[in-house]
Structure 1
């Protein structure tokens, strides 16, 4: 755990407990995984608490309506389950499945510097502050850079994303600095 309360390098945030469900200790979960029920592959979660990341074992989980509900081992009461709400869920990074070449997890892209060589000139757009899903495609929210602007750049490899170099920490885009 880092001093700012964010997961350390060994943990990846994969969702959030939102609210209680029923009276037997179940909670609703907003998953950041794709598809959303992939979060259920990880039975050992870490839940962000006031004293850092706490271990949490899931003993049941399923789709419910448009979301997910889970049951935490040892919690069979609505009031106890309420203590878990509005807290981030993380899992150990080494538990994340290996991706194919050219595929990246969002956490790998966040924090990378974004540059463009548009019209023969170099432009520093800042860093990827976060990723977001829009339905049509994912979008990089890029902040900072020389002009201190926020840009929304579609995450479309081979269209706008021309290179991703994780070692150098740089994403090269084909993007007009006026946008």
Structure 2
């Protein structure tokens, strides 16, 4: 994948074995689930030790996604891959639409109030039923809804900040 410092996006995880020919069941974090098959190459592994892989087949099977990998031809070989994560380069993702953001692009941004006071940085995002939530780490942790035009007034990826309308005591 070239530059090892390039940002990566976690796209899924191996959660099971399918059949006896080395196929794997994966939990896909893309929407729709089988969309994960559009991205190449994958980096697969665990504990930060990743190897470039180009899946041979990716298909939706009932409520899961089943994949076939080169050199993984038996159930025993497939079982060795259980728990592996699937990552892709951030550059593999299509450009987001206007006013849409990938979480990986928001994580690490400074969060500040309209008057310039800083609340901290986005450590990660959480999906809820109603909206996404920024987990902001500063002098304390804050959970701020990522609702554009309400709590979120402005996002400037290039300048590295999100401006919010938020009570700093909350």
Asked if residue 129 in structure 1 is aligned to residue 123 in structure 2, the reply is yes
Q: Hey, what does 1:100 align to over in structure 2?
A: 97
Moved over 6 A (4+): none
Q: Hey, what does 1:72 align to over in structure 2?
A: 69
Unaligned runs of 5+ in 2: none
In 1: Cα distance, 2:141 partner to 2:64 partner: 31
What do the CA deviations read for 1:77-132 (whole angstroms, capped 9, x no partner)? 12211222222211233321122222211110011111123xxx544221111112
Asked if residue 173 in structure 1 is aligned to residue 167 in structure 2, the reply is no
In 1: Cα distance, 2:64 partner to 2:113 partner: 38
Q: Hey, what does 1:162 align to over in structure 2?
A: 153
Greater mean alpha carbon deviation, residues 153-162 or residues 83-92: 83-92
In 2: Cα distance, 1:92 partner to 1:13 partner: 9
In 2: Cα distance, 1:91 partner to 1:33 partner: 11
Unaligned runs of 5+ in 1: 2-6
Equivalent of 2:8 in 8, 11, 15: 11
In 2: Cα distance, 1:139 partner to 1:50 partner: 27
Q: Hey, what does 1:4 align to over in structure 2?
A: none
Q: Secondary structure at the match of 2:91?
A: helix
TM-score by length of 1: 0.81
**Post-superposition offset of 1:170:** 0.6
Please tell me the root mean square deviation across aligned C-alpha atoms, in Å. Answer: 2.3
**Post-superposition offset of 1:45:** 1.0
**Post-superposition offset of 1:54:** 0.5
Contact 1:28 1:69 in 2 (8 A): yes
Number of corresponding residues: 168
Asked if residue 151 in structure 1 is aligned to residue 142 in structure 2, the reply is yes
